[in-house]
Amino acid sequence: QVQLVESGGGLVQAGGSLRLSCAASGRTFSTYAMGWFRQAPGKEREFVAVTRWRSGSTYSAYIGDSVKGRFTISRGNAKNTVYLQMNSLKPEDTAVYYCAAGSGVADFRQDGEYDYWGQGTQVTVSS
């Protein structure tokens, strides 16, 4: 049974940092795209960041425009874990953050391209 489990969310003041983790299990994810989306109340789910397998142990990282320069994404050594380092957080970053994994992802900004999803972790940034 495939599972994606997020952790690391919480309440932080504006300007602060959080690190989200996502651990995937149930199959091999080394060649899967793994990334993060977020959804704020009343808004559509938004692409945040993704790592995509290129070859061997090499991955490419893509960051959404709204968080570029503040968020970074990385893959764990076991390749079934993905991290989202969030710095200089703003109140508009408040959302539920979801981990996603997919094989054969073409348009990584589209949530429909992903096969598996976590339950989400709440991030709240106070002003």
Question: What pLDDT score does 42 carry?
Answer: 95
- For the CA atoms of 120, 104, 108, 7, the dihedral, rounded to the nearest 10 degrees, stands at 20
Q: For the chain, 127 residues long, give each residue's pLDDT as a single digit of tens.
A: 999 999 999 999 999 999 999 999 999 999 999 999 999 999 999 999 999 999 988 999 999 999 999 999 999 887 899 999 999 999 999 999 999 999 989 999 999 999 999 999 999 999 9
Q: What are phi and psi of 104, to 5 degrees?
A: 70, 30
Question: What pLDDT score does 56 carry?
Answer: 87
Task: Say if strands 81-86 and 71-75 run parallel, antiparallel, or are unpaired.
Answer: antiparallel
Beta-bridge mates of residue 22: 6, 82
What is the layout of strands, in order, in the sheet containing 3-7? Answer: 3-7, 18-25, 81-86, 71-75
Question: What pLDDT score does 82 carry?
Answer: 97
